[in-house]
Structure 1
Amino acid sequence: MIQKEIEVGDATSGEVYVLPVSLGQERFWRLDRLNPGNPTWNVPVRFRLQGALDPTILERAFNEIILRHETLRTTVAIAAGQAVQVIKPSLNIEVPVIDLRHIEKTVRDGEIDRLSLQEARWRFDLTTGPLFRVSLLRVDDNEHVLLVTPHHVVADYWSIGLISKELGALYEAYARGARSSLPDLTVQYGDYAVWQRQQADGAVVQGELAYWKTQLEHLPLLEFPTDHPRASGPTYDATITSVLLPVELTDAIREVANREGATFFNTMLAALSIVLRQYSAQTDFGIATQVAGRSNVDLEPLIGLFINTVILRMDLSGDPTVSQLIARVQEVGSQAIAHQHVRFEQLLKDLRPDDYPSHHTLFRTNFICQRDPVKPLEFAGIKLTVIPSKSQGALYDLNVFLVLRNEGWRLACEYNTDLFEASTITRLLGDYRKTLESIAQNLHQPISRLPRLRDVPQPLSSGAHAA
């Protein structure tokens, strides 16, 4: 892709605002330059809308959201050799409606999935935009599937929750013939990007950067055994496998966490590290996770890329008891939160300057455990619920995530299908569940005395390349 070169105030670029990109935007822009249009960096989500929906009001509501949030009117260009945000003063999008009512119900779900996957893997052009897409599938007279797909440069998953909340409020108002009652935003994402770069060289961030460089010094890469050798270059094909954990089990783990003075997140992470130790025979490795990155209350209502990646170093050396391991992971997690003001992009440049913007020589496994920030809503007679998304691509070799929904905690794994067979991931999730059941009963046993996982695969030689 040829990157657009603009000059501030250049009449050919139109009446636009030009601001620095945030550190996160800069990294995703560089990743996009390596593989232009790679849909792995999309944030696709889909909703079920039940009720008498007016697509015209829906489109109007989305365009008001775009008007409120500058980041949804943003593209990326080069000015004076640097990536910059180019913000249009206005932008209207159309929300196309695809009518599927004529398709037999027996095959309709398959067509919904096909169109969902097609939308999730839309190839955005960061220089031209828009970097935010919406489409609507009419599946019955009073039922629709709403597909919302922003690029990561302009939104994170927290932002999806904000989009759905504003959509509900605006649709409700417009359906009544009223105006928007949403409060004005006090800052915009461009303000945050400028502030972030000012803070990057400050004493607080530099002090925390020193902590991370020490904490992650000589960090071994987790060598999780793959079913297929790595290709000579990075690959991104992915899918998702998930299971619903029994409420009795997750309640038992929460009781363990409470007794041990740990969070549910860190207790679940400790259990995962036990599983990964048995698969890899390693006692020292890193697992990444994400924090919201919205340290100021003014940032909480903003759509944009705020999430920050932190690497949690797992130490299973010395055959600790389950209780001791939970305490170790809790301390690592607490320190990560205390030092979260350093952007991962800064750390990556310092630790792996030759590999930036790729993270794959630092970690390949990610872990998420959270309540779903996208809540079910009811507005103007419409019921909105989340439908599990289709995978847009493999951000990591393995992305193990737990999301709390109405029915309980859903355990899922998004994985690179060029590396792993579905049976391996199914076995991994089953082994994770068995380990959770085991630690609930064997809290004071050394981890070596926990029941062994059967049929754990042996590492497959994959060469030196890190995708």
Structure 2
Amino acid sequence: MSAAEKEWTRLLELLDEREIVLRATGERLGYLAPAGAMDEEVTGLVRAHRDRLLSTLTGAGTALAAAPAGVAQHRMHGAHAGSADPAVWNITQRITLRGPLEPARLADALTALTERHESLRTRFPDTALGVLQQVLPNAPAELPVEDLRALAPAGRAAALAEATDAEIRRPFDLAAPPLLRARLLRPAEREWVLLLTFHHIAIDGWSLATVLDDLGALYRTGEPLPEDPGRMTDHACWERTVVTRATVAACADHWAGVLGGTPLSVDLPTDRPRPDRRSGRGETVKFRVPAAVAEAVRRYAAAHSTTASAVLLAALARLLGSLSGAPSVLVLLSNANRTRPADEKVVGLLTNGLPVLVPTGGDGGFGELVDTAAETIASALDHGVTPFRMLVEPLRERGVVLPASYPQIMLAVQSTPPIALDLPGLTAEVEDLPGPSTRADCSFGLTPDADGYAGQAEYDADLFDPGTIRGWLDALVADLAEQLEVPLP
């Protein structure tokens, strides 16, 4: 090894050991470092290898800006690479539009959208400096338009179904942005179907609301929006100074104390034996929590000085306890993770999961269970700076016996801004399309709307039949209504 290569290797070791964050903006090299980290040795090596650092960060100058991947993005990069079916990380929206749509105007708005939000035109290479996000120059959006009006009704329906399925199943290449695909189909004179597909590394549920809101504004005005939405590269650099090795170790110590002596596997009754190797095949069942029950959830939460999430988590814990006989259950609760005002409009993957260990019953009844769920969520938020998935191996090293298929159960109660698309002269119906894969034994999602909560359960099709999951969901809604003393319609 040459002297220069030895210096380069030493520099990489020091950057990692001292948790120094490097970023690039054009030809400018910047850093964030703990106090005392940039000593004479590191400073000298950075100066000596500045050109190589910039080349690595920017992909030999092809990127406009670069920074380390965010914590959740780094995890998603690994999950994508390790997935038998990377399309499991697709997020596809089917938007039915009725009215006088202008396709060229929509294509221009999509181009302006990817210019505005850097995550949509970012690639994620694994380099000597780790997994990076490299922001590329913008390019005109591709919006293929397919006219289905000449087809018979059955043919139009089949063509729409085929196009939708193809978008859901077509994986992204994280090295080849954009990480947004758009496809427009026209089944009738004044009806259009817009398919928007994102990779999860570039967007989360909160971001989706921002993206659709901005797309509508860009279509309406035809001009760039004035306010700065914030950048994922900025968030990631800040985050890397907060989620340090010391933070991870402290969080692992905390959760080991909370979880260490508790059985954490939920032995749910399955329709088939658990296979040695999961196929990843998943299905989705939709359900609804009626408006009267949803309103009762909000009133009950207010009376207990907590959130709807605590009430719904308590109801889910009761269901899982009745199915498994477990005295407590571990649920991974989705958290928007936007604690800073600067992150409110950032488009990217910020979401993390909070582990909540909740009893499934108790002498104090449902109210006590809700209070316990609220306290557990609050404690998890206090120690939630490090995503729990980063702690799985450190916890196992500390003797915590997590389920082999962790996470088994996930819950997402959406608190995002409304997900809607407002285009002048058109009505828009937005539908989230679940993919054919699963990320857990069972994931429950609830989104508030004018008619209560729209819910869906994504489940492992290796284990469960749809009728089984449907029965669980009916029992969940019925028990929630009974605990809140609301008659079901």
Under TM normalisation by the shorter chain, which class is it? 0.7 to 0.9
After TM superposition, the structure 1 stretch with the greater mean CA deviation from structure 2, 98-107 or 299-308, is 98-107
The match for 1:78 among 93, 108, 126 is 126
Report matched runs for 1:282-301 at 5 Å.
Answer: 282-301=326-345
Q: Distance in 1 between matches of 2:432 and 2:158?
A: 14
Structure 1 match to 2:73 = 25
* Aligned counterpart, 2:276: 232
Q: 2:472 aligns with which of 416, 428, 436?
A: 428
Change in 2 beyond 3 A, CA 1:70/1:392 = farther
Query: Which amino acid in the other structure matches residue 34 of structure 1?
Result: G
Long gaps (5+) in structure 1: 1-5, 443-467
Q: Matches of residues 353-372 of structure 1 in structure 2 within 5 Å?
A: 361-371=405-415
2:178 corresponds to:
130
Mapped contact 1:348–1:359 kept (Cα < 8 A): no
Instruction: Spell out, residue by residue over 1:298-329, the C-alpha distance to the aligned partner (whole angstroms, 9 max, x if none).
Output: 11111101011111101236554222211111
Pair 1:347-2:430 in alignment: no
* CA separation of 1:301 and 1:12: change in aligned 2, threshold 3 A: closer
The amino acid of 2:152's aligned partner reads E
SS of 1:43's equivalent in the other structure is strand
> Do residues 201 (structure 1) and 201 (structure 2) align?
no
Query: Would you say the 8 A contact 1:74–1:87 is kept in 2?
Result: yes
Q: Which moved more, 1:237-246 or 1:415-424?
A: 237-246
- State the distance in 2 between where 1:321 and 1:210 align: 32
Show the counterpart of 1:164.
212
Q: Which amino acid aligns with 1:150?
A: F
Choose the corresponding residue for 1:190, options 196, 212, 233.
233
Q: How does 1:23-102 map to 2 (within 5 A)?
A: 23-35=71-83, 38-80=86-128, 82-102=130-150
Whole-Å separation in 2 of the counterparts to 1:389 and 1:217: 38
3-state SS of the aligned residue for 1:40?
helix
Contact 1:253/1:440 (8 A) holds in 2: yes
Who is 1:215 aligned against?
258
How many Å separate the matches in 1 of 2:380 and 2:234?
26
Other-structure match for 1:15: 62
Which residue matches 1:338? Answer: 382
Give the structure 1 partner of residue 437 of structure 2: 393
Instruction: Name the CA distance, whole Å, in 2 between partners of 1:114 and 1:224.
Output: 35
Say if 1:134 and 1:28 are closer, same or farther in 2 by CA, change over 3 A. Answer: same
SS in 1 for 2:349: coil
The answer on whether the counterparts of 1:398 and 1:416 sit within 8 Å (CA) in structure 2 is yes
* 1:43 Cα deviation after fit: 1.7
One-letter code of the match for 1:336? Answer: A
- Which of 438, 450, 455 is the matching residue for 1:406? 450
1:341 alignment partner AA? V
* 1:81/1:190 CA distance change after superposition, 3 Å: closer
TM-score (norm 2): 0.81
Residues 184 and 250 (structure 1 numbering): CA distance in 2 closer, same or farther, change over 3 Å? closer
Superposed displacement of residue 202, structure 1: 8.0
Indicate the SS of the match to 1:378.
coil
The equivalent of 1:242 in structure 2 is 286
- C-alpha displacement of 1:147: 1.2
Among 265, 268, 278, which residue is 2:312 paired with? Answer: 268
What displacement does 1:383 show?
Answer: 2.4
Which letter maps to 2:345? P
Aligned to 2:24: none
Deviation at 1:75, TM superposition (A): 1.2
Aligned residue for 2:201, secondary structure, equals coil
Structure 2: 5+ residue stretches without partners: 1-51
Aligned to 1:463: none
Corresponding residue for residue 253 of structure 1: 297
Query: Aligned equivalents of 2:139 and 2:395: distance in 1?
Result: 40
CA contact (8 A) 2:291 2:450 kept: no
Matching residue within 119, 137, 140 for 2:188: 140
Cα gap change, 1:66 to 1:434, in 2 (>3 Å): same
* CA–CA distance in structure 1, aligned partners of residues 68 and 346 of structure 2: 17
Cα offset for 1:35? Answer: 2.7
- The structure-2 alpha-carbon separation of the partners of 1:107 and 1:425, relative to structure 1 and needing over 3 Å to count, comes to farther
Give the secondary structure class of the aligned counterpart of 2:433.
Answer: coil
Same amino acid, percent of matched pairs: 26
Q: 1:99 to 1:315 in 2, by over 3 A?
A: same
Structure 2 counterpart SS, 1:414: strand
Equivalent pair of 1:403/1:411 in contact (CA under 8 Å): yes
Residue in 1 that maps onto 2:23: none
> Per-residue displacement from partner, 1:352-388 (whole Å, max 9, x unpaired)?
479xxx9854421111222563433433212223124
Instruction: Pick which of 286-295 and 343-352 moved more.
Output: 343-352
CA contact (8 A) 1:244 1:408 kept: yes
Shift in Å, 1:270:
0.7
CA gap 1:173/1:81 in 2 versus in 1, 3 angstroms: closer
Counterpart of 1:308?
A: 352
Change (3 A) 1:79 1:377: closer
Q: Is the 1:124–1:131 contact (alpha carbons within 8 Å) kept by the matching residues of 2?
A: yes
Shift of 1:44: 1.7
TM-score (norm 1): 0.84
Query: Looking at CA atoms only, which structure, 1 or 2, has the larger radius of gyration?
Result: 2
Q: Partner of 2:287: helix, strand, or coil? A: strand
The 8 Å contact of residues 248 and 391 in structure 2, kept in 1 or not, is answered as no
The Cα of 1:64 is off from its aligned counterpart by 1.0
